[in-house]
Amino acid sequence: MSDTKYFMCSVSVLAQRNAFEQMQEVAHEIIKQGTYRKSLTMELGDEVSRFVDAAHFFGINYAKPETVLKDIKHKAFMVEESKVLTSLNRDIVWDFFQNEKSEHEIACFLGYAALKSIIGHKTYAKVTNEYLLARFFGCGSTAELIPPIRESSLYRQYSSRYALNKIKMTLSEQWGLSLYGHFTRGFYASFKLSFDELAYQVERSRKSIIKKEKAFVRRDIIAQVKAQVQSEFPHLIL
């Protein structure tokens, strides 16, 4: 059984600051929010003690947990206001919190967080580039990609096919991401399945859908034929 631990946080955290300039601060916010969310699942003790226990779960010791907790609860991304969540590997977040990262590494982190939010608890999910970009920039949906975001230099840079493919390639080579997109609009992504397993699941699902669609078409054709015959021979019992 894996002992990997995850920080659950809102994708809106990715938009709180310019991650490309303040990645360590963004990672810190993820750690604090993830710890707070974990404390909400604990039953024993008062609010502060639950927060301390959650911090210990992640291997964190806060000198002044009351102050940290108060800061978190006053943030705009509080649990009650956050609807789209992402689950991020503690060790990855901690690495980005403690160490300086290149622009490409930060872009890959945002892509990782975006895809994790889309896939959620599922084994795999179908993703479009625009949907990926929405989560990449901390939005819940493509409808939230308002003009100020779309017109920004960062959006123009990372919405290019080259930039997105570079991120996907690195995630598939170094971050455990499997991608599959044979004759499909968008692509399928998974952090749990190998490429072969993902391809098999997608194709099996597609064949099942095609089979059902053909069955519906056949039923419609039969119904239309019966209706036409009935109109031409009203006394005929079908």
Question: Residue 195's closest CA among 174, 206, 180?
Answer: 180
pTM score, whole prediction: 0.81
The Cα 227–Cα 143 span in angstroms is 43
Is 185 strand, coil or helix?
coil
pLDDT at residue 205, as a whole number = 77
3-state secondary structure of 188: strand
Q: How many C-beta atoms surround the C-beta of residue 196 within 10 A? A: 10
What pLDDT does residue 1 have? 44
CB atoms within 10 A of CB 32: 22
Angle (CA) 188-190-196 rounded to 5° is 80
Q: How many whole angstroms separate alpha carbon 190 and alpha carbon 23?
A: 25
Averaged pLDDT, groups of 10, the chain, 238 residues long: 82 79 91 91 88 92 87 62 83 95 95 95 93 91 89 91 93 94 79 91 70 49 58 60
Q: Quick one: pLDDT at residue 6?
A: 94
Residue 179: strand pairing partners: 189
Q: Which residues pair with 189 in a beta bridge?
A: 125, 179
How many CB atoms sit inside 10 A of residue 179's CB? Answer: 18
Q: What is the structure's pLDDT at 16?
A: 65
- pLDDT for residue 21: 86
pLDDT of residue 217: 43
Q: Side-chain half-sphere of 155: how many Cα atoms within 13 Å?
A: 19
Strands 187-190 and 125-127: antiparallel
The answer to whether the beta carbons of residues 52 and 65 sit under 8 Å apart is yes
Domain residue extents for the chain: 1-100, 102-208
Rg (CA), the chain: 24
C-alpha closest to that of 174 among 109, 86, 123, 77: 109
Q: Which residue has the tokens 């230099």?
A: 153
- What distance in Å separates the CA atoms of residue 189 and residue 199, rounded to the nearest whole number? 10
